[in-house]
Structure 1
Amino acid sequence: MIRRLSLLRPLVLGIAFASMLSACSGDDSSTAAATAGAEAPESDVAPEGTANVAAAATDDDSRNDVDPDESGFTIESVPISEVSLGEFPYFSIPEGHREDPLNTVRLDFAQVAFWTGDRYETIEGRVYATGIRRERDSGKQFSSLQVARDLEQAIKSAGGVEIFQGEEPKQEREAKAIQSLMRQYDLESKCWAHDPAQVFVIRREDREIWIRVCQSRRVAGFIVGETQALVPTVTLLPAGELKQQLDADGKVALQVNFATDRAEILPESQPQIEQVLALLQAHPDLKLSINGHTDDSGDAAHNQQLSEARAASVAAALTAEGIDPSRLQTQGFGQSEPVADNATEAGKAKNRRVELVRI
């Protein structure tokens, strides 16, 4: 009996000890669970820092009034504004600042390009471009950011929508066609590479007003372009008059309208092409050199290529109607033979021409 109890004692002690360990372990697990629950209570409040990130994202999103879809910016995404506007260019220089007259360009009809966020959009119409500096006696330190914010507020009050904000891509900005097109505007109005820019559009029922504001260290650039159709100033030269001028002078100038920076003949010039066709049909022995000319806007080499392409386009329109190609030659002279002053829009219009020269 004594021996049996001696054998059972280690077993009982082992069981008791195991029970104590289990109890302690259970208490620790419950306590840990309770503690974990206390440290991480369920809540609708985002962890610290998340709210700030979300707010920052919201602020960034609100900076852009139009988010281009996958296909890119479209003017239809901008609501039509009916806010009353004054005289072009519609916005005054902020108080305490001035436009630099030496760096200001005003054109009645020209081309200008605006970055939309995925491409440059070229418009035609009135253009105002200037660099904005502080008044010398204003007593203020110049801030291009302040100028930009003042203009932004005025533009948005007029129904303007911001379609881009940031740095325009260097590769696209320095593309040959854009460099050539924008060369007519002073550097101060365009700012320098890597300078931040904003682009706005005011969409009206009958036109669009595009605005670009850029910030540099000592100047703020400001460009306003308003789309408008070209009012034709060229009269149709009938076949008989073409023949008279060829007989008298050996050549005759035509004002043929082409698509912007391309060789595509616009529909409004088709009647003039038809008169040249009638001339050639009425005089089967007549041979002509079709010579293309441009104004001096942009790069000379590009203008040379453009004039050649436009002359070829006129010849192609005639041969497509049955004129023997052997009766026609084509040449391009670019900007090398102006007939008027390129300093005025009227002069530029005269220099953009196609000449028919008797061979």
Structure 2
Amino acid sequence: MNLRFLTIAAMACALFACNSKKKPSDAADSTAIPQPAPAAREVAAAPAPATTFDINTIPVSDKPLGTFPYFNLPENYQNFSKHDIQNYDVVYFWVKDHFEKPEGKIFYSRIKAKEGKSYSDLELGKNLEEIITGVGGVKVSEMKIPNDSTYTIPKNNQLTYMDGYGFIGSAVSTTYLIRRADKNIWIQTTPTDDGSSACWMILETKPFKSTASLIKADEMKKELDAKGHIALYINFDTDKATIKSESQPVIDEIQKLLTSNAGLKVAIEGHTDNSGEAAHNKKLSEDRAGAVKTALTGKGIDAGRLQAKGLGADKPIADNNSEEGKAKNRRVEIVKI
């Protein structure tokens, strides 16, 4: 009997112990304050994703502005090295996770302290921020631009060098936007690596206004007969060989010329201005001439009647020291073979 009693007692103790182990969780269900799961805490601590830039969220400002480039540097700072104004070009402005590429009138330069004054990124930055935001500007980005993104800036873009972009990709760049009813004004500053100066650029957007007129097929024929060649102005995407839609009528007229003159064979020559690297310009002009040839063969013109070659900046027809001259040099020529 004693052995049976001890056995029953042991079983009862074991059962009591098991029930005791369950009680804390039972109590937690009714009285303890619930604790967040580890996974929930990790999600809450994760950084929020960067907000995609949307120009429509920037308020339109009507505060008074002077004339381009609008801003004077703070006291004891000056523009130095090369600084220039270009009448029309494209500039890459960083906005959080990508480059915006507005086109228009551009000012660019380097900034340093005047003699006897020490340069300060902080001082310069605070001054510029105050004056820009004071006329309705918004800071849309302030960060170091990823190196793999800076490689998207074309090598022949003049601002790639010291003036303008500065040491982009190795320092914190700050981008501002002033949105106006009739235009946008972009400003970007980038300090230099050695902390002795900064680069900045200002762009005022304006729509591209074509000054070219459409040359009809019969006019092309007359000039080819008289001179053996004719310069045409076909618009392409910036630094690409993609023909813009507004230039399709020019392609149509070349196709009419060749269709009406079945024995005519021509060379399509691509030309650029002298901005940027010669090798890049040569390749770009070749690709653009090839794009015109492809467009014509796509319209039924026999490829055997067409040659395509690029000459880069080797044969200018105007002075490359002016924007007007550069625009004339960026052309496609049709040459009678």
Confirm or deny a common fold (TM above 0.5). Answer: yes
What is the letter of the counterpart of residue 170 of structure 2?
Answer: H
The alpha-carbon deviation at position 310 of structure 1 amounts to 1.3
**Structure 1 residues 256 and 204 mapped into 2: Cα distance closer, same or farther (>3 Å)?**
same
Native 8 Å contact 1:133 1:142 kept in 2 = yes
- Alpha-carbon RMSD across the aligned residues, in angstroms, is 2.3
| Equivalent residue number for residue 119 of structure 1 | 98
What is the letter of the counterpart of residue 180 of structure 2?
Answer: R
**Structure 1 residues 343 and 208 mapped into 2: Cα distance closer, same or farther (>3 Å)?**
same
- 2:128 corresponds to 1:148: no
The alpha-carbon deviation at position 358 of structure 1 amounts to 0.9
CA distance in 1, matches of 2:146, 2:262: 54
| Equivalent residue number for residue 19 of structure 2 | none
| Equivalent residue number for residue 158 of structure 2 | 183
Native 8 Å contact 1:148 1:215 kept in 2 = no
Q: Highest Rg: 1 or 2?
A: 1
The alpha-carbon deviation at position 345 of structure 1 amounts to 0.8
- 2:72 corresponds to 1:97: no
What is the letter of the counterpart of residue 64 of structure 2?
Answer: S
User: Gapped runs of 5+ residues in structure 2?
Assistant: 1-47
- 2:148 corresponds to 1:168: no
| Equivalent residue number for residue 287 of structure 1 | 265
CA distance in 2, matches of 1:273, 1:135: 54
What is the letter of the counterpart of residue 257 of structure 2?
Answer: L
| Number of equivalenced pairs | 289
CA distance in 1, matches of 2:303, 2:166: 49
Q: Deviations over 1:158-197 (max 9, x none)?
A: 2111111122222322x1x515144346514433252222
SS in 2 for 1:329: strand
| Equivalent residue number for residue 172 of structure 2 | 196
CA distance in 2, matches of 1:144, 1:179: 28
CA distance in 2, matches of 1:230, 1:281: 32
Native 8 Å contact 1:89 1:224 kept in 2 = yes
| Equivalent residue number for residue 251 of structure 2 | 273
- Aligned pairs for 1:24-173 (under 5 A) are 68-69=50-51, 72-100=52-80, 102-136=81-115, 139-173=116-150
Native 8 Å contact 2:224 2:230 kept in 1 = yes
Which structure carries more helix by proportion? Answer: 1
The alpha-carbon deviation at position 357 of structure 1 amounts to 0.8
CA distance in 2, matches of 1:238, 1:123: 32
CA distance in 1, matches of 2:205, 2:332: 26
SS in 2 for 1:153: helix
CA distance in 1, matches of 2:308, 2:166: 41
User: Gapped runs of 5+ residues in structure 1?
Assistant: 1-60, 62-66
